[in-house]
Amino acid sequence: MDSQRKKGVLDVCVLAILTRGDSYGYEMIGQMANCMPVSESTLYPILKRLENSGCLETYKQEHNGRIRKYYRIRTEGRDKIAAFLEEWAEMERIYTFVRNMSEEDAE
């Protein structure tokens, strides 16, 4: 997959996880494992970029004697998911067109 496309997909995957509730980095890595495995070195820059763009916010909370950083989706993040889904519908139409045209060519 093209690295720029993958970057955008990863952003939306992270935001989708946060639509289910606030989460922290390690938990998100586990949730993404079946879909698109990511490492900490990949996830944390994504989280920082999404925070800087206003898509999510952070807060810290103690857990088992340690401070854990949690992430919460904001309206801008939900808007980004909606835009992605609209764009993906267009990509599906393009995919179908390309597939159908190449199948006709093969006949």
CA pair distance 49, 81, nearest whole angstrom: 15
End-to-end CA distance of the chain: 28
Q: pLDDT tens for residues 16-35?
A: 999 999 999 999 999 999 88
> Between the CA of residue 68 and those of 22, 36, 58, 94, what are the distances in Å?
12, 24, 10, 43
Q: pLDDT tens for residues 64-87?
A: 999 999 999 999 999 999 999 999
pLDDT, average across residues 3-24: 88
Domains of the chain, start order: 3-106 (1.10.10.10)
CA pair distance 30, 39, nearest whole angstrom: 10
